[in-house]
């Protein structure tokens, strides 16, 4: 070690030992107690504000039968979009915590720099901060509505909130996790432009997340239409809920995440020549067919389309479950020393894996609600829709842990400790 440090100091740091040690022994960023404090502060604020919102909604009778339609149709898409995003961030924070606790090298797998990578406390902070801001806007919106302000004035609040978050996402200033924000935008660009870019682990991992956020994408489309079409001024929300264009956009948005993921599989097959990528492509094609059948059945409730929905959804679900358990998680090995699991396990208790299999199976068949179509009221139907979307986000967060665990074990088992030799001077500052 002394010889390496001496050689590096001589040849790469111009005999400046302090500069050499900066890169040979980089200091890890210490977790700040302020982050933990603000996570607790925003969590408490969110719970309090949500309780206030629930009380005000009950007192004002906002969700009573016959009065909730306008309010839910205008407010629900925006706030549920933020709620689903915050839930996904919370699940990602849980993933980061568990990966760190079980020594899964997620920074290496995703090719993140340890000094700028998001930590679990940071993910919790972003999620709780977002939900506090959203619920604050909901309370303000409800108070103004109850006090007789016109809808054209009040309904600008969700739009302003949306613009603020978009502005923060693209903000060029070095604050609010700029490296993470720009990494996110870069990955989204790679996904949308598939298959033009070489597919990295972080790209297809994020694309898998998008396949679980189709309701969020649908809400984004409804929100954009609501504000761009000027419906918030006239309060005619049906403008964006009817017509041929609306139905066509519903298909496009429902297909897009599966299409992007399928194109990534095609690109990986082209680059690597592995037939498994073509088989994976087939999984996303089957999901697209099933999603299209369910959308069509929602518009044409005939027995023929019901049969088509059942067949296509059943095929897609079996395909997805097989890929989850066998390919993504590496389980269901009949020859394993651990019954129907795999030889190497990170978690000590095998019961967690069996519970994970059962939970993933149950949440994968949530599409049955589309067929059963429970007869509930207008507000209850929106609440049920949001609950099912939340369950899918929870399933994806649960899936994430075992997917990366399997990737980590494959890296270790195949001796993929490094892909290239990372020379320290590649990350030096421009000013030295």
What is the separation of C-alpha 227 from the centre of its chain, rounded to a whole number of angstroms? 24
Max Cα separation, the chain? 80
> Which pLDDT band, with edges at 50, 70 and 90, does 49 fall under?
very high
Give the number of other CB atoms < 10 A from CB of residue 224: 13
> Which pLDDT band, with edges at 50, 70 and 90, does 415 fall under?
very low
* Digit-coded pLDDT (tens) for 52-83: 998 988 887 776 665 556 667 777 788 889 99
Q: Which of 41-55, 165-179, 254-268, 409-423 has the lowest mean pLDDT?
A: 409-423
pTM of the model: 0.86
Reference 139, options 72, 55, 200; nearest CA is 55
Looking at residue 414, its pLDDT comes to 53
Burial class from Cβ neighbours inside 10 Å (0-12, 13-18, 19+) for residue 262 reads buried
Three-state SS string over 77-145 comes to HHHHHHHHHHHHHHHHHHHHHHHHHCCCCHHHHHCCCCCCCCCHHHHHHHHHHHHHHHHHHHHHHHHHH
- Are the C-beta atoms of 100 and 225 separated by less than 8 Å? no
* Digit-coded pLDDT (tens) for 194-222: 899 999 999 999 999 999 999 999 888 87
Q: For 360, list phi and psi in degrees, rounded to 5.
A: -65, -40
Cα–Cα distances (Å) from 326 to 110, 312, 318, 406, in that order, read: 22, 21, 12, 10
- Are the C-beta atoms of 212 and 396 separated by less than 8 Å? yes
The angle that helices 156-170 and 214-228 make with each other, rounded to 10 degrees, is 120
* Digit-coded pLDDT (tens) for 137-150: 989 988 888 887 87
pLDDT tops 60 at residue 374: yes
**CA–CA distance, 404 with 397 (Å, rounded to integer):** 11
pLDDT tops 80 at residue 328: yes
What is the rounded average pLDDT of the residues 406-420?
Answer: 65
pLDDT tops 80 at residue 20: yes
């Amino acid at each position: 070690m002394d010889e390496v440090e001496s050689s590096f100091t001589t040849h790469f740091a111009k005999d400046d030992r302090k500069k050499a040690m900066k890169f040979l022994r980089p200091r890890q960023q210490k977790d700040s107690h302020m982050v933990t404090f603000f996570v607790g502060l925003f969590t408490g604020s969110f719970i309090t504000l949500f309780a206030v919102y629930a009380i005000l909604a009950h007192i004002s009778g906002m969700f009573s039968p016959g009065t909730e339609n306008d309010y839910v149709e205008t407010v629900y898409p925006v706030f549920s979009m933020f709620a689903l995003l915050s839930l996904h961030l919370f699940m990602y924070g849980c993933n980061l915590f568990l990966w760190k606790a079980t020594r899964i090298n997620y920074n290496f797998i995703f090719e993140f720099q340890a000094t700028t990578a998001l930590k679990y406390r940071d993910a919790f902070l972003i999620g709780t901060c977002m939900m506090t801001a959203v619920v604050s806007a909901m309370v303000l919106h409800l108070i103004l509505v109850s006090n007789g302000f016109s809808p054209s004035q009040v309904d600008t609040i969700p739009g302003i909130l949306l613009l603020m978050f978009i502005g923060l996402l693209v903000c060029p200033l070095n604050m609010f996790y700029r490296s993470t924000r720009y990494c996110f935008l870069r990955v989204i660009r790679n996904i949308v432009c598939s298959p033009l870019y070489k597919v990295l682990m972080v790209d297809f991992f994020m694309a898998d997340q998008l396949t679980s956020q189709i309701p969020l994408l649908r809400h984004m489309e409804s929100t954009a239409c609501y504000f761009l079409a000027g419906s918030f001024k006239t309060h005619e929300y049906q403008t964006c809920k009817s017509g041929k264009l609306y139905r066509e956009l519903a298909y496009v948005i429902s297909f897009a995440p599966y299409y992007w993921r399928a194109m990534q599989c095609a690109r990986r097959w082209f680059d690597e020549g592995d037939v498994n990528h073509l088989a994976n492509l087939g999984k996303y094609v089957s999901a697209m067919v099933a999603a299209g059948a369910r959308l069509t059945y929602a518009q044409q409730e005939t027995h023929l389309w019901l049969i088509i929905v059942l067949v296509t959804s059943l095929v897609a679900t079996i395909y997805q479950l097989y890929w989850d358990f066998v390919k993504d998680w590496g389980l269901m090995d009949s020859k394993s020393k651990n019954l129907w699991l795999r030889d190497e396990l990170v978690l000590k208790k095998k019961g967690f894996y069996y519970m994970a299999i059962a939970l993933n199976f149950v949440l994968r068949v949530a599409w049955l609600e589309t067929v059963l179509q429970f007869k509930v009221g207008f507000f209850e139907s929106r609440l049920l829709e949001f609950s099912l979307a939340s369950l899918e986000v929870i399933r994806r967060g649960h899936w994430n842990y075992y997917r990366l665990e399997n990737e980590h074990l494959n890296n270790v088992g195949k001796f993929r400790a490094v892909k290239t030799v990372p020379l320290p001077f590649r990350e030096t500052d421009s000013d030295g």
